[in-house]
């Protein structure tokens, strides 16, 4: 019975038409895709600006807090507590504002990266259809290709197509 099953499997495999299979190194593709590089650079610039803003605001708040400590020594206990509560509220408000800006920047960056990934997938699919591929697999770190011959590596071709389209 086992021999009959193996015979059927081999017969089916032999009767199937030749399938064209290629793979793309996802890591290399994304590392060399100019639009992704440009988006990362843009968000790094924005993140650096936000960090400078955070540092500047924090420094100004610390100076204000030190000035309050000096001033509080000459106040009544009740007045000093009221002022301290106001400073604490102001600090929390500033922290929330900065955190919100950071979250907005991250969400915006994630949206753009998702768009890029979608564009890359669409281009790979179009390339596969145009060139008669049955399958195009993803390789690189975390990919499904553990080995593939250089002849089946489509990474450089896809990178060239994506970068050419991005330049236009």
pLDDT class for 72, splitting at 50, 70, 90?
confident
Domain count, the chain: 1
Reported as a pLDDT band with limits 50, 70 and 90, residue 59 is very high
Rounded Cα distance between 68 and 65, Å, is 5
Beta strands in the chain (DSSP E): 21-25, 135-139
pLDDT over 70 for what percent of the chain?
90
Which single residue is written with the structure tokens 């507590």?
A: 81
Q: Are 105 and 47 in contact (CB under 8 A)?
A: yes
Do 20 and 152 touch, CB atoms closer than 8 A?
Answer: no
- Whether residue 83 is contained in a domain is answered as yes
Q: Is residue 6 part of a domain?
A: no
136 part of a folded domain: yes
Range of the domain at 137: 16-167
What 3-state DSSP class applies to 146? coil
30-55 pLDDT, tens per residue? 999 999 999 999 999 999 999 999 99
Domain annotation covers residue 74: yes
**Considering the domain boundaries, does residue 95 fall inside one?**
yes
- Residue 119 domain-assigned (yes or no): yes
Q: What is the pLDDT of residues 152-163, one digit of tens each?
A: 989 999 999 999
Q: For residue 63, what is the domain's CATH number?
A: 3.30.910.20
Whether residue 125 contacts residue 158, with contact meaning beta carbons closer than 8 Å, is answered with no
- Is 8 among the domain residues? no
Answer whether residue 4 is part of any domain: no
pTM greater than 0.85 (yes/no): no
R_g of the chain computed on alpha carbons: 29
pLDDT tier, 7 (very low <50, low <70, confident <90, very high otherwise): very low
Please determine, for residue 141, whether its predicted confidence score (pLDDT) is greater than 90: no
């Amino acid at each position: 019975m086992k021999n009959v099953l193996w015979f059927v499997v081999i017969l089916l495999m032999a009767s199937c038409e030749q399938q064209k299979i290629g793979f793309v190194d996802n890591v290399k593709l994304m590392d060399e895709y100019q639009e992704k590089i440009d988006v990362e650079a843009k968000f790094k610039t924005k993140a650096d600006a936000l960090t400078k803003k955070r540092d500047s605001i924090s420094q100004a708040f610390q100076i204000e807090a030190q000035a309050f400590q000096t001033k509080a020594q000459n106040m009544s206990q009740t007045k000093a507590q009221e002022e301290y509560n106001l400073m604490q509220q102001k600090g929390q408000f500033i922290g929330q504002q900065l955190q919100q800006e950071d979250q907005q920047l991250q969400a915006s960056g994630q949206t753009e990266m998702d768009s890029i990934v979608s564009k890359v997938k669409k281009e790979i699919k179009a390339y596969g259809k145009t060139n008669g591929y049955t399958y195009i697999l993803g390789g690189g770190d975390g990919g499904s290709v553990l080995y593939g011959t250089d002849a089946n590596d489509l990474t450089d071709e896809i990178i060239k197509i994506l970068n050419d389209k991005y330049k236009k």
